[in-house]
Structure 1
Amino acid sequence: MKRGSTLFLKLAVILMGLPVLALCIFLVPNLASYAAELYPDHTYLKYLVYIDLYASAIPFYIALYQTFMLLGYIDQNKAFSELSVRVLKTIKQCALIISGVYVIGLPLFYLIAERDDAPGLILLGMGLIFASLVIAVFAAVLQRLLQEAIDIKSENDLTV
């Protein structure tokens, strides 16, 4: 494959990371302060918001990096290799971790939404959980299909 054939996808991966970085820099501190204002007796909620949202950003960036690596393997004609299977496994695990972090943080979303009278916040949290699970399932299916294709390829190479 030509070296630049996945250039657009690599650019898209980079552009996916920029809004999340901006949210982590600008929105998360404001959300944490807002949660502390809603519950002045429970100032620790501010730190729970930080932990929940930043803990989900770390596996997100790991998954983006792994996606970038997978696109590099495709450029190097190594798409049908164990390296690609490992990358897909890591992406699946990152998506499951993100989903788990938001499941654990859902009561926090509930507290903020109830005090602020914003039920859409709970739906947003559930949407993030669902989106992460969809990505995890998709990565698992691709991982399994790729592993089966590698197994078939190695069987064909041995029967020559």
Structure 2
Amino acid sequence: MKFKTGFLKGALFFIGILILVLSVFWLPTVSKELATSNPDYAHLRLPLLLGLYITLIPFYIALYQAFRLLHFIEKQYAFSAASLYSLCVIKNCAVAIVVLYIAGMSYLAFSNALHPGIAVMGAIILFACISIALLSMLLHELLRSGLNLKTENELTI
């Protein structure tokens, strides 16, 4: 079990570092290049960067909660209130990212600046976040049922 959770913790750490490096170094450079090549949309550079950086907040909160959940699984505390809380926070963060992306893509669509490539990337991110929210909601319900059964069994003994 330690190898599996350790591998997943490493994957989460790698994803977190990769997203951090991309958002600090790659994203500002690309946005500057796009603003100079498309001067009609240069005024959207900073609001879009700000919106993307705001979505990093729930992303890293969810990443931390996933790391914490793996720690609980590793320590044999999977059926605990803390695990339920972590799943609930992950679900809420995924929903927050969905709301932020829908707001940003709607703003771009109403500004006639929603490029098809950006729309596809946004749709992929939306699909992933909706899937994560639904999965965490399902796991939350299953874990709550398991926790209730565990509590009943402890009371009968």
The question of a shared fold, defined as TM-score above 0.5 by the shorter chain, is answered with yes
Q: Which residue of 2 aligns with 1:152?
A: 149
In structure 2, distance between residues paired with 1:12 and 1:21: 14
Which aligned segments of 4 or more residues in structure 1 are displaced greater than 6 angstroms?
none
SS at match of 2:14: helix
Asked whether the 8 Å contact 2:72–2:78 carries over to 1, the reply is yes
Q: How does 1:6-155 map to 2 (within 5 A)?
A: 6-34=5-33, 36-37=35-36, 38-40=38-40, 43=43, 45-110=44-109, 111-114=112-115, 119-155=116-152
Q: 1:53, CA displacement in angstroms? A: 0.6
In structure 2, distance between residues paired with 1:39 and 1:86: 46
Which amino acid counterpart does residue 125 of structure 1 have in structure 2? G
Asked whether the 8 Å contact 1:31–1:49 carries over to 2, the reply is no
C-alpha change, 1:81 and 1:41, in structure 2 (3 Å) is closer
Q: 1:32, CA displacement in angstroms? A: 3.2
In structure 1, distance between residues paired with 2:114 and 2:18: 23
In structure 2, distance between residues paired with 1:71 and 1:132: 19
Residues 94-130 of structure 1: CA distance to partner in whole angstroms, max 9, x if unpaired?
111111111011035544444xxxx222111111111
Asked whether the 8 Å contact 1:35–1:112 carries over to 2, the reply is no
Using the size of structure 1 for normalisation, the TM-score is 0.86
Q: Percent identity?
A: 35
CA RMSD of aligned residues (A): 2.0
More helix by share: 2
Which amino acid counterpart does residue 24 of structure 2 have in structure 1? I
Of stretches 134-143 and 30-39 in structure 1, the one that deviates more from structure 2 is 30-39
Q: 1:34, CA displacement in angstroms? A: 4.3
Which amino acid counterpart does residue 50 of structure 1 have in structure 2? L
Residues 66-89 of structure 1: CA distance to partner in whole angstroms, max 9, x if unpaired?
111111111211110000000000
Residue-pair matches, total:
154
Using the size of structure 2 for normalisation, the TM-score is 0.87
